[in-house]
Structure 1
Amino acid sequence: MPPDDLPEDFFLPVDAPDGNVSALSPFLVPQTHLGSAGLFAAMAAFMAALVALGVPVNALTVACTARYRKLRSHLNYILVNLAVANLLVLLVGSTTAAYSFARTYFVLGPTACKVEGFTATLGGMVSLWSLAVVAFERFLVICKPLGSFSFRGSHALLGCAVTWVCGLAAATPPLLGWSRYIPEGLQCSCGPDWYTTNNRWHNESYVLFLFLFCFGVPLSVIVVCYGRLLLTLRKVARQQEQSASTQKAEREVTRMVVVMVLGFLTCWLPYATFALWAVTHRGRPLEPALASVPSVFSKASTVYNPIIYVLMNKQFRSCMLKMLFCGRSPLADDDDASGSSQATQVSAVSSQVSPAP
């Protein structure tokens, strides 16, 4: 990229004498003027740790589902879809960011930046919508709003397809001219253009589209579905105050719902908030290091989500232990029995719920 084209193509508003430190191309020059070498090294280490932790657990999720028939339920199809989206982000987005942070600039060039930005956005959006589909599936199964309707594998596969359609709808526009993918924060990872001030790329509409369609809608689905689920289970628990199993199921589900919602907000609220702030404060100085934090948190969802949705699933945990130890895990019987007991409790609770009119 010729240096003369940089002011028109790329502008980063920070406190600098000329107002544009991005004149030092993030594709050609180390960006240590934006932060200390130690900060870049810490970011590289963090991204490498995400890859080291996230790839095995997400790959195990896919491998276990392929190997063990008992894991091939409609809910687990969606969890596998989530794992595939996480792997896409880890293997392309997180590894590229780790390498770039280690080199202190986006050494792979503008084309790789577009690929990394597109891949990370696609995987992230599929992940977001997968969490919404999981919430909707739990709502249908437990609350029975459609009466005798049975959520089947075909419905789960349709839900997975919808997540990829929504992901492509969100990630493709910057490749076609509605916004664009550029280095963000410390200039070592790429994402949609949130903050440049050149009028040619002044596309608040795309950011608002992402905020409403890819954050607001999934969050609303999650809050409404889990809110209804909690109310339903609490109602049944009050009706069966003498049933220890029902009370235990209600407490476990409540705890899981709180963890799921908090995990969602931890991963995505910083990124959504930063994007909205940047779009409504065009040209205001920002700290590049702080601008990198939301991106790091969103990529960290590739580790948070499997812990919440998979490792806390006792059947998955049992099968993973078997696969890791090349045989039967000493904890397998207890986990299977506990998993079966929990499933029985939830089924008993859901059977007490009257279908919504």
Structure 2
Amino acid sequence: MSEESVTEIVPNTTHLYDTYDYFIHPHWKRFPPVSDSWHIFDGLFIGVVGITGVIGNILVIWMFTTCKKLKTPSNMLIVNLALSDLTFSAINGFPLKSISAFSKKWVFGMVACELYGLTGGIFGFMSIGTLAAISIDRFICITKPLQAARIMTRKKAFIMIVIVWIWSTLWSIPPLFGLGSYIPEGFQTSCTFDYITKSTSNRYFILGLYVFGFLTPLTIIIGCYIIILRAIKAHGREMTRMADKLNAEEADKNKKAKAEMKIAKIALMLISLFILSWCPYATIALIAQFGSPDFVTPLMAELPVLLAKTSAMHNPLVYALSHPRFRAALAEKAPCFLRCCPVEPAQTSTMSRRVAGRTASQSSVTSCATNLSDCQGGIQMQPTPTSAVSHGDLVKDLVGALVNMATQNASHIVQPVYLPNGVLPSNGVAAVRTPQVNIISGQGQQNAAFVPDTETEDPSKENVDIKKEKEASTSKEAAKV
């Protein structure tokens, strides 16, 4: 064999990946090894994302499990999401992937690679499923506010969490029994499903992961938020009509429009973050199975991995820090985390004060519309100055108004009442000290508001018995009135 033929064969039969003591798919040997700068960037990026995700999710779990106001059925889903993202960040992010990235290869062996891929599959699908469950919870809370307290109980929220756990596990364990496998991917510093092999069984498995693990939750999330936005828009039109009837100020209408825009932006941000995190990863898997393998380079395969791992970092930011009660509790217990975005004082608009307490449905939808993060799984009657008034206070106010009206009208009405001595005043109108009757107790008392300023003759000249008899009869007649 000539020297030229030897030099021609050696580059095609040896590769850096051949020196590894675990399986590397032949597809990755078609490309040159990744440069050191990319490995360093990968390790630093995953380190920042992993540490941020661990701290953020621990904070969310701590606040939602210790604050009594946050212990609601709806927030059980938030806690499950934080638990899933915490595990995903701690195991599939920092430190395992960061150590492998700085070592330029997976350094923990093939068994650890399979366990790493299994953990990533379970908690990755769990995060996606929990996001879909949260969207269903908000759909129920806003579109059916009167039935939300009965539908979303703690038991049913727990059942939803159990279903998400079972669903995630069922789609993650088949590679351990021969249906697919877990192998290193991209930069060969992390492990995931084998989406490269184009066997029939593996192709059906990858297609099932795409349809049921990604496309179905995405459809649920988009559908629920579209219905939520429509319900909020319809409620906004109803509130506008009520505001027009009550002659509400134009500023209140502008605030309502801004609140609806804010809710729409939050919903759009949630959907966009979900698509940005998981859509590239699902797309690469489909291209590897049904497209050109030349497109699936180590760099093109690694970038979706980095985007998917960032979901464990931004989920606590979006679903927890946008929660008003969570922010209030965090400002009380750990205000150092809100230096960049302090809690704004709550303001009650004029229109909300005027229309508060109209119906339970309207109050509930308004509560959920102003806070998309949580509706407490039921009807929310927001404490406003008007809704806090009791029925007893309302009756007292009405009685006071009637007394004031009677007092104002009494100055224009002069009632002829017989004087004890039967003497008329100089102006020809009979006037006496008329006993006032309390409209509540029915007891007669003197009140100057009902007595004209006229002089009467001395009643001592009359018989005392006749005087008492006439006063008693007058009191009885006044009491009847």
Letter of the structure 2 residue corresponding to residue 309 of structure 1: Y
1:186 aligns with 187
**In 2, distance between residues paired with 1:338 and 1:171?**
48
Closer, same or farther: CA 248–306 of 1 in aligned 2, 3 Å: same
Closer, same or farther: CA 338–332 of 1 in aligned 2, 3 Å: farther
Letter of the structure 2 residue corresponding to residue 215 of structure 1: F
What SS class does the counterpart of residue 184 from structure 2 fall into? Answer: strand
Structure 1 length-normalised TM: 0.83
4+ long deviations beyond 6 Å: 328-333
Matched, 1:320 2:330: yes
What SS class does the counterpart of residue 171 from structure 1 fall into? Answer: coil
1:216 aligns with 215
Matched, 1:300 2:310: yes
- For 1:183-230, what per-residue CA distance to the aligned partner results, in whole angstroms no more than 9, with x for missing partners? 000110000001135x5x861111101100010110010011111111
Structure 2 length-normalised TM: 0.62
How far 1:36 sits from its partner (Å)?
Answer: 0.8
Closer, same or farther: CA 346–225 of 1 in aligned 2, 3 Å: farther
**In 1, distance between residues paired with 2:207 and 2:217?**
15
Q: Is the 8 A contact 1:182 1:193 kept in 2?
A: yes
1:149-188 matched pairs, under 5 angstroms: 149-188=150-189
Count of aligned pairs between the two proteins: 330
**In 1, distance between residues paired with 2:342 and 2:87?**
33
| Higher normalized helix content (fraction of residues) | 1
Closer, same or farther: CA 231–112 of 1 in aligned 2, 3 Å: same
User: Unpaired runs of 5+ in structure 2?
Assistant: 1-10, 244-251, 357-361, 370-481
Matched, 1:347 2:357: no
**In 1, distance between residues paired with 2:196 and 2:14?**
14
2:301 aligns with 291
Matched, 1:144 2:144: yes
**In 2, distance between residues paired with 1:204 and 1:161?**
28
1:1-357 matched pairs, under 5 angstroms: 17=12, 22-25=17-20, 27=22, 33-95=32-94, 96-144=96-144, 149-196=150-197, 199=199, 203-241=202-240, 242=243, 244=253, 246-281=256-291, 283-284=293-294, 286-325=296-335, 337=346, 347-349=364-366
Q: Is the 8 A contact 2:145 2:365 kept in 1?
A: no
- For 1:320-357, what per-residue CA distance to the aligned partner results, in whole angstroms no more than 9, with x for missing partners? 3333359x989999557479x9xx997243799xxxxx
**In 2, distance between residues paired with 1:28 and 1:98?**
20
Name the larger-Rg structure.
2
**In 1, distance between residues paired with 2:333 and 2:366?**
32
What SS class does the counterpart of residue 191 from structure 1 fall into? Answer: strand
Q: Is the 8 A contact 2:182 2:192 kept in 1?
A: yes
Deviation larger for 276-285 or 209-218: 276-285
Quick one: higher RCO (CA 8 Å, sep 6+), 1 or 2?
Answer: 1
Closer, same or farther: CA 346–168 of 1 in aligned 2, 3 Å: farther
**In 1, distance between residues paired with 2:347 and 2:266?**
16
- For 1:240-273, what per-residue CA distance to the aligned partner results, in whole angstroms no more than 9, with x for missing partners? 2246364344222211101110011011110011
How far 1:28 sits from its partner (Å)?
Answer: 9.4
CA RMSD of aligned residues (A): 3.2
Q: Is the 8 A contact 1:34 1:289 kept in 2?
A: no
What SS class does the counterpart of residue 295 from structure 1 fall into? Answer: helix
How far 1:20 sits from its partner (Å)?
Answer: 7.5
**In 1, distance between residues paired with 2:304 and 2:51?**
20
**In 1, distance between residues paired with 2:68 and 2:211?**
38
Q: Is the 8 A contact 1:105 1:187 kept in 2?
A: yes
- For 1:127-181, what per-residue CA distance to the aligned partner results, in whole angstroms no more than 9, with x for missing partners? 0000000100011111129957532222211111111111101111111111011
How far 1:104 sits from its partner (Å)?
Answer: 0.5
Deviation larger for 128-137 or 66-75: 66-75
